[in-house]
Amino acid sequence: MGDFDGKVVFITGIARGQGRNHAIRFAREGAAVIGVDIAGPVSEYITYEQTTPDDLRETVRLVEEAGGKILARVADVRDSAALKAVVDEGVAQFGRLDVVVANAGICTWNRFWEMPDDQFEELIDINLTGVFKTLKAATPAMIEAGNGGSIIVISSVSGLKAMPGQINYAAAKFGLVGVTQAAAKELGPYRIRVNSIHPYGVNTPMGTDVSVLKLFEKNPSWGPNFVPILEGKPTADPDDISEAVLFLASDRASTITGSQMAVDQGNSKV
């Protein structure tokens, strides 16, 4: 018996990293997974390795190895029609939708006065507008099912305090707090809870991008902003974030909505 037997979860950005880990963890707990990922190059401004079709196929293999059922499709969170088509296909296959994890996102760095307009706009389109489009595509199926449910928005510690070198990222992640709270208020009558999670660094290709050290060498005053209180754990494991996701998706969090959960080694308090 798993905590999510018979439930269906929709996760964006599942090709690797946090999204893949969330998919595997839900599968182990009995959930069927609907997942999307762009599974290809997204931006010329990204300095870490970008996802591939092989990454997406590996997620499918790992979810099935964990005993789960999965419908995985290539889709861009900037494309409302593509998201809706995948949700509709998944609901037709699995019969319902109970949980949404809006996880897809990118991270790019620059000093704001040196940041090209398209670098700022592109990240906002993916990390903020893409979450709006994800929730818009998924919510009608949750309402129609009439089972309540849970939506988890993956924000960042940068949605609780802004970081230097990330004005685009901070704008998007702070924006997700507003998206979360507004959606929670609108969906309360349908017993659908909406909360955001705010990680610090996570051990994924995006979270361990060493190329940004050049910016830190150029701007040494930035360093104190990035110090965690829990110095013995400077980066979280994907499982640390998945634990919070599964908690907020579960009945154990039945009274929690419109909230921001910091899973950040205390960095938001520094």
Residue 253 tokens, joined: 């969090």
CB-based burial label for 67 (10 Å; 0-12, 13-18, 19+)? exposed
Give the ranges where the chain is alpha helix by DSSP (H).
17-28, 53-65, 80-94, 117-124, 130-145, 167-187, 213-218, 238-249
Report pLDDT for 91.
98
Counted domains in the chain: 1
32-76 residue pLDDT tens = 999 999 999 999 999 999 999 999 999 999 999 999 999 999 999
The verdict on residue 269 lying in a domain is no
CA pair distance 255, 230, nearest whole angstrom: 28
Residue 193 has pLDDT above 90, yes or no: yes
CA pair distance 234, 179, nearest whole angstrom: 29
The verdict on residue 117 lying in a domain is yes
**Residues identified as active-site:** 169
- Tell me the pLDDT of the chain averaged across its residues: 97
Q: Which domain holds residue 125?
A: 8-263
Strands 192-199 and 149-154: parallel
216-264 residue pLDDT tens = 999 999 999 999 999 899 999 999 999 999 999 999 999 999 999 999 9
Give the ranges where 95-229 is alpha helix by DSSP (H).
117-124, 130-145, 167-187, 213-218
The verdict on residue 87 lying in a domain is yes
Confidence of residue 1 (pLDDT cuts 50, 70, 90): confident
The verdict on residue 268 lying in a domain is no
Amino acid occupying residue 145: A
CATH of the domain at 255: 3.40.50.720
